A and B are shown apart, each in its own frame.
Chain A
Amino acid sequence: MAELAAVERSELAALIEQIRPTVLSGERVLPVTSALQPVFPLGGLARGSRVALRGTGAASVCMATLAEASREGSWVAVVGVAAWGWAAAARAGLRLERTVFVAEPPPGQWGTVVAALVDAVDVVVVDPTHQVTASDARRLAARSRERGSVIVNVALDDGRRRFRWPSDPDLTLSVQTLSWTGLEAGHGALGDRVVGIEADGRRGAARARRVEVLISAGGVVVEHVPAAGAPGERAATVRHLRSVG
C-alpha cells in the first residue's frame, strides 16, 4: 500500500501516456466522400466531435457526409428526425441495414437515450426540439470523445423552434443550395443540384473553408467546378446532351 501511495501522480500520468494504445490518424476520423473532404479539417468526420449542419440542403449534405462511413461498416442512429427520407438516404449510399431510427425520446430521457446510442454506434444524428441541458451536453461530449463517436446535429426547417446548445459544436457546416437543374416554369423535373458548404469551427477548424459540390439525381457527390457562365448552367447542358444522345 505504502509503495503504491508513493508513486507520484505525475509519474502515473506519464505511465498512462506510455501504455495507452496507439491511435492512428486514420482511426481518428470516419471517412467522407472525396468531394466533401476539403471542408473537414482532418479530411473526415473527427471521432469524438460534434458537427452541426444547417441551411437549405442540410439533410442531403448530412446523408452524403455519412454515406462513406456507413459503407465502411459504421452504424448510424437517427434520433427524432421523423422526416428523414429513407429513399434519399439509400440513394445517397447509407446502408439501411446499419442505420437505425429512434423516435424522439421525451426530453427527460433524451440525454440517456442519446448517450446509450453514442456508446453503441459511430454516428448519431440528432435534432432536439427542446433545450439540451448543460449536463446532457457535457455528458454527451465526454462520452463521444471516449467512444470515438460523432454527433451530427441537424436543424431542419420544419417550422418549429430550435434552441441553442449550451456549448458550441466543433464544426459547423452551413449549407446553401445554389442551383437546381431540370426544373423550369411548368415543365421538367428536379435533377442535379449544386450546394455550397461553408465550414466554421473551433480549434483546427477555425480557418473558414468552403466547397461547392454537385449532388446528382442519382446521389453521386462530385466537386463542382463553376463554369464561366452562371453556376448550374453547364450541368444543365450536359444533362440535356445526355438525354438526347
Chain B
Amino acid sequence: MVAAGISAGEQRDIPTRTVVVWCADWAAVALGRPVDRPVVVMKANRVVATSAVARALGVDIGVRRREAQRHCPEAELVERDPEREARVFEPVVAALDAVTPRIEIVRPGTCLFPARGPSRYFGGDEPLAERLIATVKGEMVVPTAVGVGIADGAFAATLAARRSAGTDRAAVVLPGCTPEFLSTFGVRTLGHPELVDVLARLGLTTLGAFAALDPGDVVARFGTEGAAAHRLARGLDLRPPRLTDPPVDLDVEYLADPPLERVDQAAFVAKALADDLHERLGSRGLAAVAILIEATTTAGHVVERRWRHDGALSSTAVAQRVRWQLDGWITGTQGRRSLGAGALARLRVRPTEVVPDAGRQMGFWGGADAASIRARRGLARVQGVLGADAVMVAEWNGGRGPGEQYRLVSVDAVAVADDEAFDLAPTGPEPWPGKLPDPPPALVWKPPRRAEVVDEAGTMVRVDRRGACSGVPARLSVESTSWQPIVAWAGPWMTDERWWDALAHRRRARFQVRTADGDAHLVTLESQRWWVEATYD
C-alpha cells in the first residue's frame, strides 16, 4: 500500500507503528495538588504549563506571570521542577511495563513504544489503547486527561495522543493513513518558531500544504532543519530508519561501592556516566538519540528504563535523564519503591540508537557554534570544581528595583530549556510600571550598603508617608566613610510594594544622588535607615 504523499521509492521508509501515551499538563499534575485547585507552572517568568482549572480560567501557555495572576489571582504559581516531574512519572511507566516492555520516555509525561507486538497480543489497537488508558488512570494520584495515540511514527502518534486526551478513547490512525491524518494540522505543531513563521508568510499554514512541496526545494531553501521538519510533515520519521545496531562496546558501567542509597550520590554518578558515554560516542563521531539505563540492586533485581530524544542527547541531557531516573528509582513516590528492596549496586547506560553526530544541529538559523561548545565544556569543568549551581546566567524576572529585574539561575536550568519543545518568546526587558528611569545602575549592591544622609544641619533626612522630606539631603556617608557633599539629587520616589501582605510589605523611598567626588548613587530609605542600593558606576 502506497499512501498519499509518499513515493514508491520511499515505501520502506514508512516509520514504525508507534503508540504514544501522553498525560496532559504533566508539569502541573506532577505537583499532586487537588484537581479543583488552579496551578500554574512558571519558567523564566512565563507560563509553561497549567492545570485544567487554571486553563479554563483563561491562563494561557506563554503569558507572563502578571498576566496569569490577573486571570487567576487564586492560582498557585510554582517554578518548573523537571526532577519532580520525572520522579512522579516513574510509577506510571512502571505500571505500563506490565503491558509492554521497551517503553521509551520522551519527556516526563510522555512515553512511546512500538505498537506491533502489544497490539497483536491484546487483539488489536483499540483493546490495547483501552488497556493503556485504564492502566495509566489507575496510577494517577490526581485525575487528569490521558491521551493515547497510535499511528505510523512518533510525531503523528503524539499529535493523535494529544487530540484524544480528554475523550477517554484512543485516536488510532489506520496504517498508511498518517500523511492524510497529519495534513489538517497547523504547521505550528512542528516546533521551530522561525520556520513556522516563514511558512505562514508563504501561505503554507497546514502540514499538508508544506508536505506537498518538493523535498529538494525544501532542503535548498531551509537547510537540513527544514528538511527534517518536511519529513515529519510528510508522515516520515525525522531520519531514515537505521539499518545496524550500535556497537555493543559503547556501554558505560558504574559499580557502586558502597551501593547508592541517596539521590545526591546519584547526581555525581550520573554526570560521570554521561561524560564517559559522550566521550565514547564522540570518538566514533556518533551521538545517542535513545539510551537504556539499567540498574542492578544489591538484592539482584535488574530494572531498566529507556529514554529518547528527537535531537541528539548532549552530555548534560544524558546526565539529567540518568539523574532523574535514579531519583525515580531511589526515592520512589508515595512510599512505593519501584525498585524493590536493596540499594543500587551496578549501573549501566547503553545507547540504544545512535546517529552520526552532525555537530549538534547547526542549521539555517544558527545554533550551537564552536565558541558555545567550547564554553559549555569549560563551564562544566568549573561546575566540577565548585558544584553544579556555581555557574549561573541572568534571567529576566521583571520588577521595579534594579536588583529585581534579573535573577541568576543555574546554567543547567537553561540547558534544560534548550532541548524541550516549549517555544517561548525570547524573554527580555519589557515595560514595567513603576520601574526606575534609565540608565540602569551598573552596580547593584548585594546586600545593600549602609549609608547615612543628613541635611545642612546634620540631622538625618526622613520621609513621611506622603513622600515629604524632613530636609534637603546635603551630605552622604557610605559605610561610615567620610562625608561627601550632595551636589544634585532627586526624589523621593516612593514604592509601596505588596501592601496586601503583612510579611512581604515593603515601603521604600528612593533617591538618586550625585556627590561632589563624582559618584552617583541610588539611595533608599527604608524603616528609618538609609542604604546605598546601587551605584551608577
Interface residues of A (CB under 8 A from B): 56-60, 63, 73-75, 77, 82-91, 96-103, 105, 109, 112-113, 116-117, 119-122, 156-159, 176-178, 180, 183-191, 193, 215-219
Query: Chain B's nearest CB lies how many Å from the CB of A109?
Result: 6
In the complex, per-residue mask of B426-446: 1 if CB is within 8 Å of any chain A CB, else 0: 001100000001111111111
Q: How far is it, in angstroms, between the C-alpha of A216 and the C-alpha of B512 when the chains are bound?
A: 17
Decide: A91 near B438, CB < 8 A? Known: A73-B369, A120-B381.
yes
Q: Is the CB of A87 within 8 A of B375?
A: no
Interface residues of B in 500-518 (CB under 8 A from A): 512, 514, 517-518
Nearest CB to that of A57 among chain B residues?
A: B537
Question: Max chain B CB contacts within 10 Å: which of A97, A102, A190, A193?
Answer: A190
Interface-located stretch among B79-87, B112-120, B135-143, B384-392: B384-392
Answer whether residue B56 sits at the interface, using C-beta atoms and an 8 A cutoff: no
Q: Is the CB of B537 within 8 A of A82?
A: no
Q: Is the CB of A186 within 8 A of B442?
A: no
Decide: A159 near B478, CB < 8 A? Known: A86-B394, A100-B379, A183-B489.
yes
Answer whether residue B213 sits at the interface, using C-beta atoms and an 8 A cutoff: no
Q: How far is it, in angstroms, between the C-alpha of A177 and the C-alpha of B375 when the chains are bound?
A: 34
Answer whether residue B181 sits at the interface, using C-beta atoms and an 8 A cutoff: no
Pick the 8 closest A-B CB pairs, nearest first: A120-B378, A86-B406, A87-B440, A59-B442, A59-B537, A86-B394, A217-B438, A83-B443
Decide: A84 near B518, CB < 8 A? Known: A117-B382, A121-B378.
no
Query: Chain A's nearest CB lies how many Å from the CB of B535?
Result: 8
CB < 8 Å neighbour of A85 from B414, B440, B512: B440
Interface residues of B in 381-408 (CB under 8 A from A): 381-382, 385-386, 390-395, 402, 405-406, 408
Q: Is the CB of A99 within 8 A of B393?
A: yes
Query: Chain A's nearest CB lies how many Å from the CB of B484?
Result: 12
Answer whether residue B481 sits at the interface, using C-beta atoms and an 8 A cutoff: yes
Q: How far is it, in angstroms, between the C-alpha of A186 and the C-alpha of B442 when the chains are bound?
A: 23
Nearest CB to that of B399 among chain A residues?
A: A87
Answer whether residue B377 sits at the interface, using C-beta atoms and an 8 A cutoff: yes
Interface residues of B (CB under 8 A from A): 369, 371-372, 374-375, 377-379, 381-382, 385-386, 390-395, 402, 405-406, 408, 411, 414, 428-429, 437-446, 449, 472, 478-479, 481, 487-490, 512, 514, 517-520, 534-537
Q: Is the CB of A83 within 8 A of B411?
A: no
Q: How far is it, in angstroms, between the C-alpha of A83 and the C-alpha of B536 when the chains are bound?
A: 11
Q: List, in ascending order, chain A residues with CB within 8 A of B379's CB.
A: 77, 100, 117, 120
Q: List, in ascending order, chain B residues with CB within 8 A of A117's CB.
A: 378-379, 382
Q: List, in ascending order, chain B residues with CB within 8 A of A96's CB.
A: 393-395, 406
Question: Max chain A CB contacts within 10 Å: which of B438, B445, B472?
Answer: B438
Nearest CB to that of B443 among chain A residues?
A: A83
Decide: A180 near B444, CB < 8 A? Known: A113-B385, A217-B438.
no
Q: Is the CB of B378 within 8 A of A90?
A: no
Q: Is the CB of B439 within 8 A of A88?
A: yes
Nearest CB to that of B376 among chain A residues?
A: A120
Q: Is the CB of B442 within 8 A of A85?
A: yes
Query: Chain B's nearest CB lies how many Å from the CB of A179?
Result: 9
Query: Chain B's nearest CB lies how many Å from the CB of A57?
Result: 6
Q: List, in ascending order, chain A residues with CB within 8 A of B487's CB.
A: 185
Q: Is the CB of B520 within 8 A of A183?
A: yes
Query: Chain A's nearest CB lies how many Å from the CB of B418?
Result: 10
Q: Is the CB of A189 within 8 A of B443?
A: no
Q: How far is it, in angstroms, between the C-alpha of A210 and the C-alpha of B375 when the chains are bound?
A: 34
Q: Is the CB of A85 within 8 A of B446?
A: no
Q: Is the CB of A217 within 8 A of B390?
A: no
Q: How far is it, in angstroms, between the C-alpha of A3 and the C-alpha of B422 when the chains are bound?
A: 62
